[in-house]
Amino acid sequence: MPETERPQIYLVTPPAFDLEVFPDRLAAVLDGAEVACVRLALASADEDRVARAADALRQVTHARDVALVIERHVLLVERLGLDGVHLTDGARSIRKVRKDLGADAIIGAFCGTTRHDGISAAEAGADYVAFGPVGATPLGDGSLAEHELFEWWSEMIEVPVVAEGALTAELVASLGPVTDFFGLGEEIWRHDDALAALRALLAPLG
The full set of domains in the chain, from first to last, is: 3-205 (3.20.20.70)
Percent of the chain with pLDDT strictly greater than 90: 93
Query: What does the pLDDT read at residue 35?
Result: 98
Of 128, 81, 80, give the one whose Cα is nearest residue 107. Answer: 128
pLDDT band at 126 (very low <50, low <70, confident <90, very high): very high
Backbone φ, ψ for residue 163 (5° rounding): -100, 125
Query: What does the pLDDT read at residue 206?
Result: 84
Query: What does the pLDDT read at residue 4?
Result: 46
CA distance 71 to 115: 21
- The pLDDT tens digits for 172-189 are 999 999 999 999 999 999
The answer to whether 174 and 147 are in contact (CB under 8 A) is: yes
CA distance 56 to 123: 34
CB-facing half-sphere around the CA of 65: CA atoms within 13 A: 2
What rounded mean pLDDT belongs to the chain? 95
Query: What does the pLDDT read at residue 2?
Result: 35
Q: Where are the beta strands (DSSP E) in 13-110?
A: 37-40, 67-71, 84-87, 106-110
Query: What does the pLDDT read at residue 138?
Result: 87
The answer to whether 23 and 11 are in contact (CB under 8 A) is: no
pLDDT band at 1 (very low <50, low <70, confident <90, very high): very low
At residue 34, does pLDDT exceed 90? yes
